[in-house]
């Protein structure tokens, strides 16, 4: 019972702090969960994502017009980046279980600084292949370490921190894309080099800011669990690769990240190849997505603060993405206005799905992992997005879009079904973990009186005063 009361008190303090600080984006940015270190880390993320936005908007043109690569070689570069990114998250999780996460994150920023600067010197395809792969590996590793930082710094308000992080990241991407547009308008080799140097500068500044933070240790709950050294999946040596329940969650999470590829790949290609909508509509998809994420992420996250709510959000994600797929299947091939309205509505729905996915996937990845082995577990969970980024575009272009409207309907139904299974299995694992914690708490509370009775039985009689 004491454990239950403690949880209630922690929850009350967290909710009271949220009310006192305000629920708006600006209010939360002034007083983010995690205090000073969290504020510094969010600023570091803003700079990092701004540089990433600069490079993301200009990399294809750089490889084509400056490095002189053809379309096939550019495709191989991007594919290699996706494959290398899959290894970045579990590698970072493995290292973070043994070394300070703050030091590793600084190392990731410096690694990407070195690889991005190499683009100023090397243009051979073989070298670029290695450079892009290592850059992607460092990028995914850095994102996983930022996730671990939030888990430790923000505690039970990690959902609020995640919402702030996503809002800041999207603002950074948009700012970076705007800065890249200036260099792309100039179009000279020197202009592209300036854009690369701008990305490199973002890594330097981000590393300097992370250096100003303090290493985030496990909270009191995690420390107590480690000290208990109780058997079961909560032990520090818990291995996510042998945890079939958690691997099932990660596997099911892969198709629940398809909103990213639908927005960035499928919507533009479907517009161009299957409708009469104007091509100038394509940038509007990204604008809608960026604005809605910045404006609504905090609101959505405020409604999904608990693991069971996150499981419910996963099912709602499936229904929302199903609605998006139905709209795309029904988009008319003739008629620019009708097609434009349908595609813009699909962009709104896929953004809504992204908002739900960001909080449900995040919360479940943390809640379904043992408290004292979260670094390695979150590293494995981060693979779902990396795998989707590699396989998602090929699935959409080679299978779904090739099948036409029927392909979209099949995809939507499949994702909705996976979402239902994810919710059911997530709730089942949560119930099992809560039952195990209750048994462990009862065993610990019962062991203390027994130990005191044993000690009293074997001790000398107390002196009479």
Integer distance in angstroms from the first to the last C-alpha of the chain?
37
| Predicted pLDDT at 415 | 97
> Average of pLDDT values for 402-428?
95
Res 275 pLDDT > 50: yes
- The domain segmentation of the chain, as residue ranges, is 32-217, 238-442
> Average of pLDDT values for 121-130?
91
DSSP 181-245: HHHHHH-SHHHHHHHHHHHHHHHHHHHHHHHTSPPPPP-HHHHHHHHHT-SSTTSTT--GGG-HH
Higher pLDDT, 351 or 28: 351
| Predicted pLDDT at 449 | 55
Which CATH code, of 3.40.50.2300, 3.30.43.10, 1.20.1250.20, 3.50.50.60, is assigned to 238-442? 1.20.1250.20
Which CATH code fits 32-217?
Answer: 1.20.1250.20
Average pLDDT, the chain: 82
Domains 32-217 and 238-442 are alike in CATH topology: yes
The closest of 173, 175, 149 to 161, measured between CA atoms, is 149
Cα 231 from chain centre: 30
Res 75 pLDDT > 80: no
**pTM metric for this prediction:** 0.75
Res 458 pLDDT > 60: no
The pLDDT-based confidence of 196 (bands split at 50, 70, 90) is: very high
> Average of pLDDT values for 94-112?
93
DSSP 391-428: HHHHHIIIIIGGGTHHHHHHHHHHHHHHHHHHHHHHHH
Length of the chain: 465
Res 11 pLDDT > 70: no
| Predicted pLDDT at 236 | 42
Higher pLDDT, 29 or 417: 417
């Amino acid at each position: 019972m004491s454990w239950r009361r403690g949880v209630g008190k922690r929850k009350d303090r967290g909710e009271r702090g949220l009310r006192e600080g305000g629920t708006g984006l600006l209010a939360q940015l002034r007083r983010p969960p995690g205090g000073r270190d969290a504020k510094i880390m969010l600023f570091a993320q803003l700079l990092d994502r701004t540089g990433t936005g600069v490079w993301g908007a200009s990399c294809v043109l750089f490889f084509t017009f400056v490095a002189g690569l053809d379309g096939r070689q550019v495709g191989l570069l991007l594919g290699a980046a996706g494959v290398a990114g899959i290894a970045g998250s579990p590698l970072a999780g493995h290292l973070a279980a043994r070394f300070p996460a703050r030091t590793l994150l600084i190392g990731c920023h410096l690694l990407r600084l070195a690889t991005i600067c190499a683009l100023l010197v090397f243009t051979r395809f073989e070298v670029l292949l290695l450079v892009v792969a290592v850059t992607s590996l460092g990028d995914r590793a850095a994102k996983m370490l930022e996730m671990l930082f939030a888990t430790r710094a923000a505690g039970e308000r990690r959902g609020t921190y995640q919402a702030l992080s996503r809002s800041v990241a999207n603002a950074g991407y948009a700012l970076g894309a705007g800065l890249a547009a200036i260099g792309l308008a100039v179009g000279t080799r020197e202009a592209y080099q300036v854009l690369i140097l701008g990305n490199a500068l973002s890594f330097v500044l981000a590393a300097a800011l992370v250096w100003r933070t303090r290493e985030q240790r496990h909270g009191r709950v995690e420390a107590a669990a480690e000290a208990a050294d109780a058997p079961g999946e909560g032990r520090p040596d818990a291995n996510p690769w042998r945890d079939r329940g958690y691997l099932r969650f990660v596997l099911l999470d892969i198709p629940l990240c398809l909103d990213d590829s639908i927005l960035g790949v499928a919507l533009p290609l479907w517009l161009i190849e299957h409708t009469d909508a104007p091509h100038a509509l394509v940038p509007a998809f990204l604008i809608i997505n960026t604005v809605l994420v910045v404006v609504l992420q905090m609101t959505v996250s405020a409604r999904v603060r608990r693991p069971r709510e996150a499981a419910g959000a996963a099912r709602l994600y499936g229904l929302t993405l199903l609605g998006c797929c139905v709209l795309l299947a029904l988009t008319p091939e003739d008629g620019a206005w009708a097609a434009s309205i349908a595609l813009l509505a699909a962009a709104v729905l896929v953004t809504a799905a992204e908002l739900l996915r960001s909080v449900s996937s995040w919360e479940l990845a943390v809640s379904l992992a043992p408290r004292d082995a979260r670094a390695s577990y979150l590293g494995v969970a981060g693979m779902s997005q990396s795998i989707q980024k590699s396989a998602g575009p090929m699935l959409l272009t080679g299978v779904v879009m090739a099948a036409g409207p029927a392909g979209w309907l099949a995809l939507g139904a499949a994702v909705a079904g996976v979402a239902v299974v994810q919710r059911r299995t997530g709730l089942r694992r949560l119930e099992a973990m809560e039952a195990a914690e209750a048994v462990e708490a009862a065993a610990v509370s019962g062991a203390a009186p027994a130990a005191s009775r044993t000690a009293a039985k074997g001790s000398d009689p107390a002196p009479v005063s």
